[in-house]
Structure 1
Amino acid sequence: MFRKKYWVIFCSLLIISACGTAESGADENWPEDEEELTMVVPFPEGGSADRQARALTSELEEELGVPVVVDNREGGAGAVGTTSHYEGDPDDGSHFIYQSQPHFQATIFRDADYDIDDFDYIGLTHESPITIWANEDSNYETFEDLMTTIEENPGELSYSMISASWSDTSVQMLTDELQMEVTDVPYDGGAEIRTALLGGEVDFTASDIDGTLAGGGDDLHPLAMFSDEPYEHAPDIPLVNEELDDMGYDMEFPEISNARFIQVKSEFRENHPERYEELAEAVEEAANSDAFIEQGEDEHMYYTWESEEETRDRVEEAYELMSEYDYLFQ
């Protein structure tokens, strides 16, 4: 009886050891054993998020030695793609997501089944401040010109926006504080809101600097930027708070920026720490590669790498800011 009992224990330990060895072996052979990896982009093809993701996957393939494909899962201002990834994709490292701020945080305010802590954040690749823009041919040469016209014509001026994004909420924050009325006109993506302004369908828009310079070029005129400091790549754009101060308003708005980052489900890191580290190292190398950075510069998008800890801090800080205006993200 004594020998039988310990024989059972011995066999159990062998099984556990074998399982651990098999898992370790699987991790050692990753990602070579994968036919391909998938980067989920929760936005349409052709937009800035899609172009950035495809440029990054090209370099990531070189680092990992396997194909990395982009899977566009558009809809719901990022909610469709993020939800499908969280609920349906495996947590083995074969799928990860090229995420966008504030769209990700906004889905949480709209009762998503996930929260910030359900993901890990490998790193941030791009950040671009939100700016108020007018058509170059319009009568609005300055931020004050636009705001004065809005004040004198309540509800008559319109702006193009994407629901639950900074393109909408930054304008609402501004006009709510100033007790002014404007009309929002919703579109599906960044290219669409800029096209609407270029085509004269709306009077102004709020969009990030890099994406707008890439998509609108010299045909759009920047009026003011939600930032505390001038933007390195467009230093002449006025700052919102300084413009308001010159107009006699005693108020201050926070810095507001779009950001893009690589995100994985937290179970991936918990269950496959070696794979996570390999993917994280590869992403960092790809994001800092000359080819990726040059591709961005060619499109007036200036990439900058931030670490996992820095990225999580930015995601949480933006979430806290958005919490003050959560009614705008519903």
Structure 2
Amino acid sequence: MRTLTRRAALAAAGLSLAAPATLRAQRAWPDGPIRIVVPFPPGGSADLLCRLLQNPLTQSLGVPIVIENRPGAGGAMGTATVARAAPDGQSFVVVFDTHVVNPLLIKPLGYEEKDLRPVCLLATAPMLAATPVKRPWTRMEEVIAQAKKQPDTITYGTIGVGSLAHLTMERLQDAAGCKMVHVPYRGGGPMSAAASAGEIDLAVASVVGLGGQVGSTLRALAQTGETRSPLRPNIPTLIESGVPGVAAKAFWGILGPAGVPEPVMQRMEAALQQALQQPAVRKPLEDQGVDVVGSTGKAFAAFLEEQEAISSRVVQEKKISMSSD
């Protein structure tokens, strides 16, 4: 009987030694500055959204929020750093629509999907197809007509191979019966700058990703939502522009390493939802046609599964790979 008791005591002691790390994370979190990785260059939509959230999160959580830009591989490089980070709630990543297609295109990816846990779907938005103001087109139909007459002469920029904009434009070309040339960039900032300088014919990205250039150096020709945005009622959809069945929305969300204690994830989720309700965050987004969401982590996980299914179908049908362009 004494042997059994001794074993039970040793087992209990073992559990008590294993538990402190998790318990400390729950009690002390946040334990110092929280790092939010933006896996794209400064100036893109994920970067801008993250910087809107920075001050409200600092106030809510009581520690500095450090934004770290780590671009590369369509967001996979920066995302991998968070997937491999300690599950202590001190590191998170803002993902964009490339997140759902990267596992299909990048081998090795540097992490597995199970290494990350969704925290919150922040927002969604229709993308715009915009052209430099010095180009002659005023309607998307005109661009499509020229692409039909002169295949592979119209260039369009996106934030990378396999991005939502790239997949949407592949669908557009199939539906409209035309052929254009894809020019991938390393993020929304570089693409917007290139489009504003007239280096490409079209820039396809969310309004946030176009960096406020629409109406100044860029002219919007169409939007990718199923219906027109109330904030841009004069811009037709792709469907209205003669591209039946083609609609898509960009999205932004937050993920953390798998294994972060549940109380920490719940508090981060709540802090993000609270920040998104503040006028200083919400109004600039809504003014640009962004739909603020602020979902639960569970709802974001379901959303990602749906988006992955759509992207996988297009990638397979079009045989898209990182060497496609």
**TM-score normalised to structure 1 length:** 0.86
1:82 maps to 79
What amino acid maps onto 2:308 in structure 1?
Answer: Y
Confirm or deny: 8 A CA contact 2:92 2:255 kept in the other structure: yes
Residues 80-128 of structure 1 deviation map (CA, whole Å, 9 limit, x = unaligned): 11122223x1111111111111x11121112325454443211111211
Contact (CA 8 Å) 1:210, 1:302: kept in 2 or not?
no
1:109-120 equivalences under 5 Å are: 109-110=104-105, 111=107, 112-120=109-117
Mapping of 1:161-172 within 5 angstroms? Answer: 161-164=158-161, 165-172=163-170
1:108 aligns with 2:87: no
Aligned to 2:229: 231
From 274, 278, 289, give the equivalent of 1:289: 278
- Please list, as runs of the form range in 1=range in 2, the aligned pairs for 1:266-285 lying within 5 A after superposition: 266-268=258-260, 272-285=261-274
SS in structure 2 of the partner of residue 216 of structure 1:
coil
Deviation, 1:266, is 2.3
Residue 25 of structure 1 and its aligned partner are, at CA, apart by: 4.5
2:245 counterpart residue number:
252
1:95 pairs with one of 91, 94, 100: 91
Aligned counterpart in structure 1 of residue 300 of structure 2, from 284, 292, 311: 311
Instruction: Report the Cα offset of residue 217 of structure 1.
Output: 3.3
Name the counterpart of 1:9.
7
| CA displacement, residues 244-295 of structure 1 (integer Å, 9 cap, x when unaligned) | 17xxxxx422x31211101112222xxx122222222222222222332245
| Whole-angstrom CA distance in 2 between matches of 1:294 and 1:128 | 14
CA pair 12-186 structure 1, distance change in 2 beyond 3 A: same
CA drift at 1:11 = 2.3
Partner residue of 2:199? 201
Query: Residue 321 of structure 1 aligns with which residue?
Result: 310
Seen in structure 2, the aligned counterparts of structure 1 residues 144 and 310 have a Cα distance that, compared at 3 Å, is same
Amino acid at match of 1:184: H
Give the RMSD, CA atoms, in angstroms.
2.5
Aligned to 1:262: 254
Partner of 2:125: 128
Match of 1:181 among 175, 179, 182: 179
Q: Which of these residues, 25, 45, 50, is aligned with residue 48 of structure 1?
A: 45
Gaps of 5+ in 2: none
In the TM superposition, what is the alpha-carbon distance from 1:197 to its structure 2 partner? 2.3
Per the alignment, in what secondary structure is the counterpart of residue 212 of structure 1? coil
1:27-66 deviation digits (Å, cap 9, x = unpaired): 443225x122111111112322112212212211111111
Change (3 A) 1:244 1:301: closer
Identity %: 21
Report the CA distance shift for 1:29/1:152 in structure 2 as closer, same or farther (over 3 A): same
Q: Which structure has the greater CA radius of gyration?
A: 1
Partner in structure 1 of residue 34 of structure 2? 37
Distance 1:211 1:263 in 2: 20
- Which amino acid in the other structure matches residue 144 of structure 2? M
Contact 1:211 1:301 in 2 (8 A): no
Rounded to whole Å, the distance in 2 between the matches of 1:318 and 1:217 is: 30
After superposing the two structures, state which structure 1 stretch, 295-304 or 112-121, moved more: 295-304
The 4+ residue runs of structure 1 with deviation greater than 6 A are none
Conserved? CA contact 1:27–1:274, under 8 Å: no
CA distance in 2, matches of 1:234, 1:311: 27
Give the whole-Å Cα distance in 1 for the aligned partners of 2:226 and 2:285.
Answer: 24
User: Kindly tell me: are residues 237 and 310 of structure 1, through their superposed partners in 2, closer, same or farther at Cα, counting changes over 3 Å?
Assistant: farther
Deviation of 1:21 (Å): 6.6
Residue 150 of structure 1 contacts residue 182 of structure 1 at CA under 8 Å; is this kept in 2?
A: yes
Per the alignment, do residues 44 and 178 of structure 1 end up closer, same or farther by CA in structure 2, a change over 3 Å counting? same
Secondary structure (helix, strand or coil) at the match of 1:325 reads helix
Q: Distance in 2 between matches of 1:213 and 1:22?
A: 46
| Unmatched 5+ stretches in structure 1 | 246-250
Aligned partners of 1:190 and 1:207 also within 8 Å = yes
Give the Cα–Cα distance (whole angstroms) in 2 for the partners of residues 241 and 85 of structure 1: 38
After TM superposition, the score normalised by the length of structure 2 is 0.87
CA drift of 1:329 comes to 5.0
| Count of aligned residue pairs for this structure pair | 316
